[in-house]
């Protein structure tokens, strides 16, 4: 199974996200230290979930890192996270559309 699909399955189960985007950025890091020759080692992830309500940014990221612990130990070298509540995501989207 592709790493991106594993990330999607784990985060969907753990956070029941209103929105989930996973972008494989590995090609941008080819040849650098930590880049896995198999690919799929660098990702940008957006998770929009009610589970982040009342949590600060660091706490939200810790929740995601904890959920992805096994993948981070073995396959994922870098993970750029954006974690938002649905209300935060809607407010950001409205701001972009003005």
Domain coordinates in residue numbering, the chain: 3-96
- The contacts found for 84-87 with CB under 8 angstroms, 24 or more apart, are 84/46, 84/47, 84/48, 84/52, 85/48, 85/49, 85/50, 85/52, 85/53, 86/18, 86/19, 86/48, 86/49, 86/50
Please tell me the predicted confidence (pLDDT) of residue 78: 84
Residue 44 in this model has a pLDDT that exceeds 80: yes
Predicted local confidence at residue 85, as pLDDT: 98
CA–CA separation, 83 and 11 (whole Å):
12
Q: Give the confidence band of 51 by pLDDT, cuts at 50, 70, 90.
A: very high
Average pLDDT over every residue of 44-68: 97
Does domain 3-96 sit in CATH 3.40.50.11060? Answer: no
What local confidence, expressed as pLDDT, does residue 1 receive?
55
Band (pLDDT 50/70/90 cuts) for residue 34 is low
Stated pTM of the model = 0.84
């Amino acid at each position: 199974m592709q790493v991106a699909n594993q990330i999607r399955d784990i985060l969907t189960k753990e956070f029941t996200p209103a929105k989930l985007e996973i972008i494989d950025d590995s090609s941008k890091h080819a040849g650098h230290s930590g880049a896995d020759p198999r690919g799929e080692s660098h990702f940008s992830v957006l998770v929009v979930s009610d589970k982040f309500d009342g949590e600060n940014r660091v706490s939200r990221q810790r929740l995601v890192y904890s959920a992805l612990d096994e993948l981070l130990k073995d396959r994922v070298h870098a993970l750029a996270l954006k974690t938002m509540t649905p209300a935060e995501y809607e407010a950001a989207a409205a701001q972009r559309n003005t």
